[in-house]
Amino acid sequence: MFRRLFSQQSTLLRKTVHSKTLAAFPKALAPTVLQITMSKCSEIPALQQANAFSTTSALERNFPVSKIENYDSSTYKTLAFYKFHPLTKPELEALKEKLLADFGELGIVGRIYISTEGINAQIACPEECLPKLQVYHDEYLKPMFDGDLMDLNIGTEHGKRSFRALHVRIRKQLIADGLDPSTYDLTNVPSHLSPAEWHEKLTTYEEKHGKKPILIDMRNHYESKIGFFDGAICPDADTYKDSITAMNDICDNLPRDQEIFMYCTGGIRCTKAGAILQSASGFDTVHLVEGGITSYGRWIEEQKDKESLFRGKNFTFDARMGEKITDELLGKCQLCGEPCNRYQNCSHASCNILMLCCPSCSSQFLNTCARLQCYDTVHEFMDSTKEHYHPAGPVLVDGVRAFTKQGEKNMDATSNRVVIGKKGVSCDHEHTRRTRAIEVLGEPGEVLKEWAKAGRDLPPKHMNDINAQ
């Protein structure tokens, strides 16, 4: 499937739109939406076409939002697909418009990044629309990417909608690597192993070669904290750039005929990293599991006679914040120190720090990080009003209000969670960097000492409100 991944330049999208779309698009969708898309496509001013990295143009504001109100939020399935494939700058604006209109019609929500490198889609689709999405994928998108577009990679756990809205954004790179693109070749595609092949190779490697495999986790530190493949090297990385640096350090002194194994959530980070290792560093063979941890987890769930090589939970960048692969709890609650694999963001809007927090502490401290300022702001607001929103907008109490965004209700991880803060107050932490909870809260249990120093009793536990992990 991936052998021809980068083999040819794509045809111009505008020609594809005019000649193929009406025939390929699911017949159940209203033709008027497509006609509007075509007319808008032809009306883009040349100046806007040239500005291919604009992500806030008027074009996006003119498009209808995803029609999520037409679909039951409990039926949404989370999935992903990606493809490294060269696209021209004019193609990107047209593709952005097309996806906003067509996916919006299907009630799809999520984040889709497009660039001159290709496409990376992380979306949630109503179950009833999955057949239409599959047709759209196979008959419209796939031909645009030379027939090698990754299949729809369905998650292992779902729940409700995992994204609040539909966004299509143009980026300079699908994932920022910090390198000069001229120093590597993305057409030097690494080996994509099926989950079965991946499992077999890792299981038998030491017996066949007399040594353990070089297995690299290409994700960030907070991802590997709750789940990883046995024997993996898990770099202490904050970003993908850090992961690339760590990968190069790990492999620097290895012989170039040494097989390298690597994995990530869905495969895109490893596809790029593997191409860098093979083209820039001269390694013969880099393996990754096709579809990443997600597809491996789906495969292992179907096996009755095999034990999972992946332990714990697969972190996801959506409202689910993870999908269970095994029952092991590999992390620790930042507040009490108990075993935990549940991530949350502090519900105080100007904090918002990502942290591991067990259901008991989450309930006890109102989804905050338990710092007094955060807890008091949220508690006082929630104690002052039982109604957080009314038809005119959010309720305001002494300048403090609940925050809500389009589509936020009926989402995983937010359906029982209210974000509280003051309008116009910026976040305490850099939004461009994932601040580590330990840097702010200290070791597990440290933050609770603030309460004793202030002469305060800890809030009571509300056992009836505890959510399952």
**Residue listed under structure tokens 């690494």:** 190
Is 341:326 a contact under the CB 8 Å cutoff? no
Residues 211 and 304 in one domain: yes
Q: Which two tokens stand for residue 64?
A: 């209808």
Residues 160 and 90 in one domain: yes
Q: Residues 171-206: pLDDT tens digits? A: 999 999 999 999 999 999 999 999 999 999 999 999
**CA–CA distance, 397 with 433 (Å, rounded to integer):** 31
Give domain status of residue 223, yes or no.
Answer: yes
Residues 399 and 448 in one domain: yes
Which candidate, 132, 11, 133, places its Cα nearest to that of 80? Answer: 133
Q: Which two tokens stand for residue 207?
A: 């017996």
Residue 400 sits in which domain range? 346-351+363-454
Q: What are phi and psi of 463, to 5 degrees?
A: -60, -30
Residues 130 and 239 in one domain: no
Q: Residues 358-399: pLDDT tens digits? A: 999 999 999 999 999 999 999 999 999 888 877 777 888 888
Residues 147 and 197 in one domain: no
260-263 vs 286-289, strand pairing mode: parallel
Residue 415 has a pLDDT of 57
Residues 153 and 216 in one domain: no
Cα angle 409, 413, 415; round to 5: 30
Q: What are phi and psi of 44, to 5 degrees?
A: -65, 125
Last residue of a domain, one of 135, 170, 205: 170
Give domain status of residue 437, yes or no.
Answer: yes
Residue 51 has a pLDDT of 32
Q: Residues 433-464: pLDDT tens digits? A: 578 999 999 999 999 999 999 999 999 987 55
Residues 159 and 86 in one domain: yes
**CA–CA distance, 427 with 201 (Å, rounded to integer):** 46
Residue 406 has a pLDDT of 62
Residue 431 has a pLDDT of 54
**CA–CA distance, 232 with 218 (Å, rounded to integer):** 10
Which candidate, 449, 200, 425, 461, places its Cα nearest to that of 305? Answer: 200
Give domain status of residue 292, yes or no.
Answer: yes
* Domain count of the fold of the chain: 3
Residues 293 and 218 in one domain: yes
Please give the chain's pLDDT, 469 residues, in tens. Answer: 333 332 333 333 333 333 333 333 443 343 333 333 333 333 333 323 323 333 333 334 455 567 888 999 999 999 999 999 999 999 999 999 999 999 999 999 999 999 999 999 999 999 999 999 999 999 999 998 988 899 999 999 998 999 999 999 999 999 999 999 999 999 999 999 999 999 999 999 999 999 999 999 999 999 999 999 999 999 999 999 999 999 999 999 999 999 999 999 999 999 999 999 999 999 999 999 999 999 999 999 999 899 999 999 999 999 999 999 999 999 999 999 999 999 999 999 999 999 999 999 999 999 999 999 999 999 999 999 888 877 777 888 888 988 876 666 677 665 567 889 887 777 776 655 578 999 999 999 999 999 999 999 999 987 554 444 3
**CA–CA distance, 447 with 441 (Å, rounded to integer):** 5
End-to-end CA distance of the chain: 37
Q: Is 427 a catalytic residue?
A: no
Residues 161 and 203 in one domain: no
**CA–CA distance, 6 with 185 (Å, rounded to integer):** 10
Residue 389 has a pLDDT of 79
Residues 198 and 305 in one domain: yes
Q: Which of 264, 270, 333, 358 is catalytic?
A: 264
Residues 369 and 421 in one domain: yes
What is the pTM (predicted TM-score) of this model? Answer: 0.83
Give domain status of residue 237, yes or no.
Answer: yes
Residues 224 and 291 in one domain: yes
A 10 A CB-CB count for 248 gives 15
